[in-house]
Structure 1
Amino acid sequence: MTLFLLFIGILLLAHVLGAIQATNVIAARIAEENPPEGVFVPVPGGRLHLIDLGTGHGSERLPVLLLHGATSNARDIVYGIGADLARQRRVIAVDRPGHGWSDRPNGRGDAATAAQAKLVVAALDRHGIDRFIVVGHSLAGSLATLLAVEHKHRVAGLVVLAGATHPWPGGINWYYRLAALPVLGRLFVHTVMTPAGSWGLKKSVEASFMPGEAPADYVRKASAALVLRPDEFRWNGQDVAALKACLTAQSPRYAEITAPTAIVADPADHVVSTGIHAEALHRQVQGSRLVLVPGAGHQLHYTAKQVVLEEIGRLAQAADDHNSPRQAAQ
């Protein structure tokens, strides 16, 4: 019996080591195929990766800060609307801490929305960005709204796209819960998640675009595979696992938001409930504009691109007009 158990143990160890090796090979290939295309900006304990577009526009036009959601990176939102926006004004897209090519200086501690907000603001400071219009998609709706609450003097406009802004009934998907666990999570992402995720990535992307269709080149152009790297997927799980508590703490403060605000959502969004999030935010933020786009699904910056660009443009122009007297007085 002892020899049998020893044999089983050796067999299991061999399988685990083989899975770890396969994960490392796949992760290295993903990194090589999706190199950083922006600049690295120092922040306390590390650096964040920023994609900076449209730098030739004058300072009279406020820049737009783009914040991506969960299970993605800055290229997702840049590919969707960044290039179009950059024809009119400067655009800064940030890889949130631990995503894309940004560091995660405090590990699990950077899962909190407040911690990510501090790092993003530190990067903007270092990059010379003062006032801006912030656009947050999905999970980053939490980050964009918190910036609008805590940095009123810097946020000249707020646009929330299918954003997670309020606590919701129920939990999160099992793979996020598992990835976020301290010990089992590490084992999961270093043995199972990367090979399995590589096999199912295309289907996952297609599901996120329902009822619409993802662009044929989305996986490549949005560098969607980056999230399959073990550490990034673990940090992504930590973000999702921490989100509900963060929103419970910050959502009562949304009435403090003074920036002009546009909220865009599909009434039937199957990822983030419009009733729980978008409509509740609209009720709390005085003067906010709620734009409903039936049939657009969750990936609004692709499926309702023109609507999104119009809302950002309208709000940004108003912010520019309001900002001009401020500049003249300085």
Structure 2
Amino acid sequence: MALVALAACVAILVLWKARAHEARAEAAFPPEGQFLTVDGNRVHAVVMGPRDGSVPDLVLIHGASGNTRDMTFDLAPRLARNYRVIVLDRPGLGYTARLNRSGATITEQADLLQRAAAELGAERPIVLGHSYGGAVALAWAVTRPDRIAALVMVAGAAKPWDTGLSAYYRVLSHPVLGPLAIPFLTAFVRDERVEQAVGEIFAPQEPPEGYLEHIGAGLTLRRHSLRANALQRANLLGEIEALHRRYDEISVPTEIVHGRADTTVGLTIHSEPLSRQIAGANLTTLDGIGHMPHHSAPEEVIAAIRRAAVRAGLRRAD
């Protein structure tokens, strides 16, 4: 009985601290944009730039563990001078609700985000995806080819790989261990640990000044976000294995940007074979750049978007 009482006290403490951490994170980093309802699902969207139809529509899709703030730190405001930029939280992350309890597939995510963009009047936008978001962008291009004008991949996950899933994601995606472990992480892991991990993803570069304070690390540590992200990451390889043979169906202008120093999503595994599979795809490789080219080499990413827009007939060539 004493052990049961102790366990109950621990559970109450953990849940209380987890809720408190989530409340602090959401108070410090509230939604940046507006909410749409797509088939009963809440989607968070940030819209920047002219809304009079004078510029092309551009959708930005963030990577694993991220949210709109990765794109709104610097890239989206700069792009908003020449595009109507729509930044969308993927399901379960940021302020977009989870689609299901099993982890939304890249195809399900692409469907939801495409319909959210259409709700905002972007029927055939340019679509940019970074890292995991690149896989979602590819799914969009393959499964909804009439709803995309051009594709831009930035260090995107595209092809099957042979390394195993990390212990972290194995535990957090496990049907029993995940729900048990996640509340402890939310309760006791400090935001600074997430910021450190984010900083490591930039290697060999450093995060730009002010980035870590902007992204809202505490949002990543919320229980539903940890679970959604873990399930999505655990399922990603199988989903890419099922989809990657269809990339040659992509016929829209495609620009690919990838750093040669990227150790998170390897250039030779993903972007190089992808560039050969999509007819007319243009691959830009960046010497010495790691996994975050949209922050470490933003001019190269902006140039790739411009090329995609010109090739799609949405902008004039200089």
The alignment's TM-score, normalised by the length of structure 2, stands at 0.94
Residue 181, structure 1, aligned to residue 163, structure 2: no
Aligned residue in 2 for 1:328: none
Q: 1:194 to 1:236 in 2, by over 3 A?
A: farther
Distance between the aligned counterparts of 2:50 and 2:181, measured in 1? 42
Return the offset for 1:216.
3.1
Query: What is the root-mean-square deviation in Å for CA atoms of aligned residues?
Result: 1.7
Structure 2 residue aligned with 1:250: 243
Per-residue deviation at 1:199?
Answer: 4.4
For 1:218 and 1:174, the matched residues in 2 are separated by: 28
2:66 aligns with one of 72, 94, 100: 72
Give the 3 Å change call, closer, same or farther, for CA 214–322 of structure 1 in structure 2.
closer
Moved more, 292-301 or 314-323: 314-323
Aligned to 2:28: 33
Change beyond 3 A, Cα 1:60–1:139: same
The whole-number CA distance in structure 2 between the counterparts of 1:179 and 1:262 is: 34
Q: Given that residues 218 and 224 in structure 1 are in contact (C-alpha distance below 8 angstroms), is that contact kept between their aligned partners in structure 2?
A: no
Report the AA paired with residue 249 of structure 1: A
Measure, in 2, the Cα distance between the counterparts of 1:121 and 1:83: 21
- CA deviations over 1:64-118 (Å, ceiling 9, x no partner): 10000001101102224100100111000100111101111323252x1111111
Sequence identity, in percent?
Answer: 35
**Equivalent-residue separation in structure 2 for 1:16 and 1:199 (angstroms):** 24
User: Which residue identity is paired with 1:35?
Assistant: P
Question: Distance between the aligned counterparts of 1:48 and 1:81, measured in 2?
Answer: 21
Shift of 1:194: 4.5
Q: Give the superposition deviation at 1:164.
A: 0.5
For the 8 Å contact 1:45–1:105, the answer to whether it is kept is no
Residue in structure 2 matched with residue 19 of structure 1 by the alignment: 14
1:17 partner letter: I
| Structure 1 residues 1-330: aligned runs within 5 Å | 6-56=1-51, 58-110=52-104, 112-321=105-314
Tell me the TM-score normalised to structure 1 length: 0.91
Larger radius of gyration between Structure 1 and Structure 2? 1
Q: Which runs of 5+ in 1 are unaligned?
A: 1-5, 324-330
Deviation of 1:30 after TM superposition, in Å, equals 0.3
- Please identify which structure carries the higher helix content: 1
Task: Classify the secondary structure of the residue corresponding to 1:178.
Answer: helix
For residue 102 of structure 1, give the secondary structure of its aligned residue in structure 2.
coil
* Long gaps (5+) in structure 2: none
Count of matched residue positions in the alignment of Structure 1 and Structure 2: 316
Alignment partner of 2:102: what SS?
helix
Name the CA distance, whole Å, in 1 between partners of 2:187 and 2:48: 31
